[in-house]
């Protein structure tokens, strides 16, 4: 019998949400997959913990479908998640744009889920798919490639594969070691996330208000929790870092529209904002996915959804490949994703800069846009379908 010479040995570097999804998707295709992760988690412990993560993602319907295919969504449905039915954008005053799931005959627009629960639900699938976990004792020191393989060197440890997938985030070591450049910038504003305990029934609407100093947003998690997002000048938010919960609550009451009930501040975190896009998504047998390839303004929570779309696109390209690391096939993946990611990045920036500007003609244009958009049913519904499905058709 002829030996099977298919080259399907894959290493995924980074076991976060996107990296874990990528590993499972390829393992489901019968490929041999290893995951290198410096900070492994105890998935059962995370799923059984009452500790609520301040980091939350707005998972759209495309991502929900992918998580179902990967076996993670049933675990999430049995844990903490919050479907949302409406999404509203508005400025101070009466101008607003409201998206409602019932307008497109669906039960919900998406789910708000803690990042750590998504990651743990994916990690729970590793054993059944024979995904090997590697916890290196040092940082990546070098990448070595030849025509047939790629090797990662971690001081005295080395790992060879047919394909390496970089899912190691916006500060990707792999991207840097491969000398893949990026374009982008740091936004002047920072962002503060605030986990609150809200004395109100389960909320089904997520909203975002644009103010002269930046957007504020409400993300309803599973009751009684919710997440508040506050964009502002970096120095303003840094001054809040050491505040006691009661002190921060006073600032929130002053800044935010009235919430559905009284609330208690549980925790808060402040982080800078950056946009960056890799000049290439692949080099030889190395390919980038998720934040390693692109980071986006988190204005509409599309970052992880774009990463999951990368996962689906790369898996489709590699589905029938005899050599998963074939550079030509990796460039095919890049062609399928680069423009779509750039479009979403540009749309978010247009919203961010357009609504942050207080020039009078632009304010009038914004008001007119919101009124027209909210009353143009077919166009609004097309935008809504794109936002929740990730597809233009």
pLDDT of residue 362: 44
What is the Cα–Cα distance from 109 to 99, expressed in whole angstroms?
A: 9
pLDDT of residue 393: 45
pLDDT of residue 273: 87
Q: Which fold does the domain 9-355 belong to in CATH? A: FAD/NAD(P)-binding domain (3.50.50)
At CA 339, angle to CA 338 and CA 342, rounded to 5?
85
b/e map of 280-308 (b: 16 or more CB within 10 Å)? bbbbbbbbbbbbbbbbbbbbbbbbbbbbb
pLDDT of residue 46: 97
pLDDT of residue 105: 85
What are the tens digits of pLDDT across the range 2-11?
A: 334 568 999 9
Residue 262 CB contacts under 8 Å (≥ 6 apart), including other chains? 198, 199
Look-up of token digits 């295919």: 69
What are the domain boundaries of the chain? 9-355
pTM: 0.90
Q: In the chain, count H helices and then E strands.
A: 12, 20
pLDDT of residue 361: 47
Q: What residue ranges of the chain have pLDDT lower than 70?
A: 1-6, 92-94, 299-301, 349-393
């Amino acid at each position: 019998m002829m030996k099977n010479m298919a080259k399907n040995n894959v290493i995924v570097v980074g076991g976060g949400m996107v990296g874990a999804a990528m590993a499972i998707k390829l393992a489901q295709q019968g490929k041999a997959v290893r995951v290198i992760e410096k900070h492994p988690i105890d998935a059962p412990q995370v799923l059984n913990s009452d500790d609520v993560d301040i980091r939350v993602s707005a998972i759209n319907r495309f991502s929900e479908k992918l998580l179902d295919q990967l076996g993670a969504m049933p675990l999430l449905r049995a844990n903490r998640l919050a479907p949302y039915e409406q999404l509203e954008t508005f400025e101070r005053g009466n101008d607003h744009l409201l998206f409602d799931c019932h307008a497109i005959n669906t039960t919900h627009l998406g789910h708000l889920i803690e990042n750590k629960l998504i990651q743990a639900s994916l990690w729970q699938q590793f054993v059944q798919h024979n995904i090997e976990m590697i916890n290196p004792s040092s940082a990546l020191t070098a990448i070595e490639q030849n025509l047939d393989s790629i090797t990662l060197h971690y001081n005295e440890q080395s790992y060879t594969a047919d394909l390496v997938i970089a899912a190691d985030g916006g500060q990707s070591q792999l991207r840097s070691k491969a000398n893949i450049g990026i374009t982008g910038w740091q936004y002047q504003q920072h962002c503060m996330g605030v986990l609150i305990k809200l004395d109100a029934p389960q909320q089904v609407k997520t909203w975002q208000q644009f103010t002269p100093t930046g957007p504020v947003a409400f993300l309803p998690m599973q009751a009684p929790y919710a997440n508040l997002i506050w964009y502002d000048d970096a120095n303003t938010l840094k001054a809040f870092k050491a505040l006691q919960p009661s002190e921060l609550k006073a600032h929130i009451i002053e800044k935010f529209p009235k919430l559905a009930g009284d609330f208690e501040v549980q925790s808060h975190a402040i982080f800078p904002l950056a946009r960056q896009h890799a000049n290439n998504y692949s080099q030889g047998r190395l390919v980038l996915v998720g934040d390693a390839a692109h980071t986006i303004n988190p204005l509409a929570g599309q970052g992880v959804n774009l990463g999951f779309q990368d996962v689906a696109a790369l898996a489709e390209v590699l589905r029938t490949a005899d050599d998963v690391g074939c550079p030509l096939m990796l460039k095919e993946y890049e062609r399928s994703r680069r423009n779509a990611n750039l479009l979403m990045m540009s749309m978010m920036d247009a919203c961010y800069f357009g609504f942050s500007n207080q020039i009078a003609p632009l304010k009038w244009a914004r008001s007119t846009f919101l009124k027209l958009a909210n009353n143009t049913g077919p166009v609004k519904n097309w935008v809504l379908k794109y936002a929740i499905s990730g597809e233009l058709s």
